[in-house]
Amino acid sequence: MTFDAREFREALGAFATGVTVITTREGETDELIGMTASSFNSVSIDPPLILWSVTKDAYSSTVFETAAFFNVHILTSSQIHLSNKFAEAGGDKFSSVEYTLDENGIPKIANVAVRLDCRQWAVYDGGDHSIIVGEVMSLARTKADGLVFSNGSYASAYPLPTPSDNKAASKASNENQATRFSPLEDLLLYNLSRSYRQLSVPFHAAVRTSGLSIPEWRVLASLHGKATHTLEKLASQTFIEQFALVDTLAALRDNGLCEFTQEGKQPEWLVTGTQSGHERVQHLFDLGAAMEKEALAGAGEESVVELTQLLRQITDNTKPVA
Ligand SMILES: Cc1cc2nc3c(=O)[nH]c(=O)nc-3n(C[C@H](O)[C@H](O)[C@H](O)COP(=O)(O)O)c2cc1C
């Protein structure tokens, strides 16, 4: 072999996958079992078969190898917390999770992208893993975006333009050039609004798909990296009026995504982002960066720095608005 285990694992990490949580029940003790697995894949359409592999070292490996039924849950891009929870070794993973039991007593986790209810079809030896093949008996699905796992990090899938999209865009831009007569197109304000719109509409759609409202995203983005802000600073950074902000903050705090504190005898409340809040929007930061890169493709690094400086200059030379 010309590679070691670490190199092999890292090389395989380049193959982006979805993330699933697979659940079952221990036959004798009735213990509910669940684990995160990205080894899930499709096998056959007729009969409908899927597979995944479980490491023989896992606490739950024997249960899965012998379980007659199991449910596969394909996670959405806003369920990193579930992936992390079910990647813990052993222990009660269900106490903080919304689920019901199906007719076989197997947990069905709520609000996932897709759920596949399976009957065990076969188990094969796969070196240090067991390969479990399941026959899908029923399924439930939503339109939510699936969570992606790539090179050891969570991500969300963002469709890339195909060569035909690029051709259509360049044709439209040439036609625009030819028929261009409006002085509007030379107005900075028009170009700012148009570029903002074209970037923000798909981005905001991704935010909503991830289960967050735009105000919630703005607050969590401001608190990213577990930052602490006064209400006034948060209101200014998120463009949300203070009284409306309090409702958004209360909902986020109830979900463990931010905390309120009061320093010493200061009357002012401070808001701090939590680790869960940070993780909840990490994929949106990554998506924003990818969209920005694509939108500025072809522009040199210096022009991008200059553009950012010019935008800051506009902010400095104009009055803040509530
Ligand atoms: C994104 C992700 C994907 C994973 N995929 C698998 C997998 O396909 N098979 C596997 O055996 N373990 C996988 N794991 C690790 C298990 O989830 C982990 O070993 C867990 O502790 C098993 O649960 P148990 O010890 O309670 O049985 C994955 C972990 C993560 C975070």
Take atom 15 of ligand 1 and give the residue whose Cα is closest.
87
User: Among 17, 36, 128, which residue has the most ligand 1 atoms within 8 Å of its CB, making it the best to mutate?
Assistant: 36
Q: Which residues, 6 or more positions from 16, have their beta carbon under 8 angstroms from its beta carbon? A: 148, 149, 150, 151, 155
Q: Is residue 162 part of a domain?
A: no
pLDDT of residue 179: 57
pLDDT of residue 7: 94
Cα of 64 from ligand 1 centre, angstroms? 12
Residues 124, 17: one domain?
A: yes
pLDDT of residue 180: 57
User: In this structure, how many other beta carbons lie within 10 angstroms of the beta carbon of residue 108?
Assistant: 16
Q: Is 126 inside any structural domain?
A: yes
Tens of pLDDT, residues 260-277: 887 777 678 899 999 999
Low-confidence ranges of the chain (pLDDT < 50): none
Query: In this predicted structure, what is the pLDDT of residue 83?
Result: 94
Clarify whether residues 102 and 12 are in a common domain. Answer: yes
**160 within some domain:** no
Do residue 177 and residue 310 come from a single domain? yes
Q: How remote is the CA of residue 21 from the centroid of ligand 1, in Å?
A: 9
Considering the domain architecture, whether residues 115 and 239 belong to the same structural domain is answered as: no
Q: Please tell me the predicted confidence (pLDDT) of residue 185.
A: 81
pLDDT of residue 266: 67
Looking at 153, 177, 202, the residue that finishes a domain is 153
- Structural domains of the chain, count: 2
- Rounded Cα distance between 111 and 191, Å, is 39
DSSP 150-214: ETTEEEE--PPPPHHHHHHHHHHHHHHHHT---GGGG-HHHHHHHHHHHHHHHHHHHHHHTT--H
223 and 185 in a common domain? yes
Identity of the amino acid at 116: L
Residue nearest to atom 6 of ligand 1 (CA): 37
Residues with CB under 6 A from ligand 1: 19, 35-39, 52-55, 58-60, 83, 87-90, 149
Per-residue pLDDT, 300: 85
Does 173 lie in the same domain as 200? yes
Structure token pair of residue 124: 């094969």
Q: Residues 146-200: pLDDT tens digits?
A: 999 998 888 887 777 677 766 776 776 666 665 556 778 888 999 999 999 999 9
Angstrom CA distances, 260 to 93, 124, 141, 216, 274, stand at 27, 52, 37, 15, 10
- Among residues 126, 295, 283, which one has the least CA distance to residue 197? 295
From the alpha carbon of 19, which atom of ligand 1 is closest?
A: 1
Q: Are residues 224 and 99 in the same domain?
A: no
d(CA 87, ligand 1 centre) in Å: 5
Same domain, 113 and 188: no
The range of the structural domain enclosing residue 129 comes to: 5-153
Q: What is the CATH number of the domain that holds 134?
A: 2.30.110.10
Place of tokens 């070794």: 89
Is there a single domain that holds both residue 217 and residue 109?
A: no
For residue 74, what is the enclosing H or E element?
strand 69-74
Residues 70 and 38 in one domain: yes
Same domain, 73 and 137: yes
Residue 174 Cα distances to 109, 177, 178, angstroms: 50, 5, 6
**Can you tell me which atom of ligand 1 is nearest the CA of 39?**
8
Q: What pTM value is reported for the model?
A: 0.62
> Are residues 143 and 220 part of one domain?
no
CA of 102 to the centre of ligand 1 (A): 23
How many whole angstroms from 206 Cα to the centroid of ligand 1? 27
DSSP H or E stretch at residue 272: strand 269-273
Residue 20, exposed/middle/buried by CB under 10 A (0-12, 13-18, 19+)? buried
Residue to mutate, 9, 24, 35, 156, ligand 1, most ligand atoms under 8 Å from C-beta: 35
